[in-house]
Amino acid sequence: MNKQKIVIIGAGIVGASVAYHLAKRNQDVTVIERHPAAAREVTDKSFAWIHTTHKVAPEYWHLYDAALEQYHALQQELPELKIHWHGALTWGTPTLREQPHFQKLNREQLEALEPNLQEYPDEAMFVSEEGAVDPIGVTELLLSKAREYGAKVQFDTNVTQLQQEDSRLVGVHTSKGFLESDVLVLAAGTSIPELCNPLGCPVPVTSSPSILIQMKTPNKLIRTLISNAQFEARQLTDHTLLAAEDYIDESEENGPEAVGRRAFDTLRRSLKDGNQLELESIKVGMRPMPEDGYPIVGFQDHIKGLYLAVMHSAITLAPLIARLAASEIIEREPRGELDHCRLSRF
């Protein structure tokens, strides 16, 4: 196996996952991150639901179907990895992709499963296999393990320019000097178009803002992950509750602060002992959103040595896609599972 110099830009969940899988397979890996620590962009502000029942196009079903299996495999490899396999409970929201393991629960079953709700629907859907993670914790763990396999991580390092010679990418200029590369992996989320445009390689990715609300709670109020028309919430820890909301705009009545406070008020009303909740933070995450909503992964056709890895649903898909990407980068053979993820589809 040839040992390649691989530079990864971005130390969020995607970059950390790719670094882990490459370093584990004896590649010379360097991760560059502009922040002083990992997972400080969108990963830090992720609701972190391992959500495999999205309504997605059939050609992407296999990725979501394999995502859970990959997380279980990762947990076998890394016993320190904490995944809350508490299941997801949904009602009053857009239809999910039907799965054989869906359970329809009646009001009595819902009361037993989630005893702290003030009101219950007549029926809800429960997917026991789904779960959630601490997004910073899992990213830091993957980077730590990559380092144990020999990967290097440079924090507080800004990328200034990608260096191209003829049709090959040969390295990257940073605030700490030049780094030579055989392969450059772009896992920098919404920054990818800005890095690629000077190469004449447009990547159709825009920012899709989301709002994460964190609350302190004296005890555990939610057992599963709950998604309904009123709120989307889960326990991060026994004393920390997370809620997620869609970004609306920057106006006073619909800005992130107003949306976050409304979500906080909704949970206080919706949960028994909800009046004991304390608002800790309201954060906006700029999720990278490919133009059609699906991952863009693979070598760029016209610039040798440039590999793209950008996706929405990164918490769900990153461990799986990173393993497949590592295989493509090392073996230089395309993986059929990623055929529908290529930039060339645009």
Range 313-323 average pLDDT: 97
Could you tell me how many residues make up the chain? Answer: 346
Range 73-95 average pLDDT: 93
pLDDT tier, 93 (very low <50, low <70, confident <90, very high otherwise):
confident
In whole angstroms, give the CA distance from residue 342 to residue 294.
10
Burial of 113 (0-12, 13-18, 19+ CB in 10 A): buried
pLDDT tier, 195 (very low <50, low <70, confident <90, very high otherwise):
very high
Domain housing 171 = 5-54+135-204+291-338
Per-residue pLDDT, 20: 98
What confidence tens digit (pLDDT) does each residue in 117-161 have? 999 999 999 999 999 999 999 999 999 999 999 999 999 999 999
Per-residue pLDDT, 1: 57
In whole angstroms, give the CA distance from residue 149 to residue 153.
12
What confidence tens digit (pLDDT) does each residue in 290-307 have? 999 999 999 999 999 999
Asked whether the beta carbons of 67 and 320 are under 8 A apart, the reply is yes
Range 245-273 average pLDDT: 94
pLDDT tier, 206 (very low <50, low <70, confident <90, very high otherwise):
very high
Burial of 313 (0-12, 13-18, 19+ CB in 10 A): buried
Tell whether 191 and 284 lie within a shared domain: no
Q: Is the per-residue pLDDT at 280 higher than 70? A: yes
Tell whether 177 and 296 lie within a shared domain: yes
Per-residue pLDDT, 94: 76
Distance of CA 237 to the CA centre of its chain: 19
In whole angstroms, give the CA distance from residue 260 to residue 242.
11
Per-residue pLDDT, 96: 73
Residue 162 lies in a domain: yes
Residue 77 lies in a domain: no
Q: Is the per-residue pLDDT at 311 higher than 60? A: yes
Tell whether 200 and 212 lie within a shared domain: no
Residue 79 lies in a domain: no
**Which two structure tokens, joined as six digits, stand for 59?**
């050609």
Tell whether 300 and 232 lie within a shared domain: no
pLDDT tier, 54 (very low <50, low <70, confident <90, very high otherwise):
confident
Mean pLDDT score across all residues of the chain = 95
Tell whether 273 and 325 lie within a shared domain: no
pLDDT > 90 fraction of the chain, expressed in percent and rounded = 93
Range 250-277 average pLDDT: 95
pLDDT > 70 fraction of the chain, expressed in percent and rounded = 99
Q: Is the per-residue pLDDT at 191 higher than 80? A: yes
Tell whether 195 and 251 lie within a shared domain: no
Tell whether 271 and 313 lie within a shared domain: no
In whole angstroms, give the CA distance from residue 68 to residue 26.
26
Tell whether 213 and 284 lie within a shared domain: yes
Burial of 272 (0-12, 13-18, 19+ CB in 10 A): exposed
Range 201-217 average pLDDT: 96
Asked whether the beta carbons of 315 and 46 are under 8 A apart, the reply is yes
Per-residue pLDDT, 55: 85
Asked whether the beta carbons of 205 and 309 are under 8 A apart, the reply is no
Per-residue pLDDT, 52: 87
The alpha-carbon radius of gyration of the chain (Å, integer) is 21
Residue 246 lies in a domain: yes
Per-residue pLDDT, 2: 79
Residue 320 lies in a domain: yes
User: What are the backbone angles phi and psi of residue 128, rounded to the nearest 5°?
Assistant: -70, -25
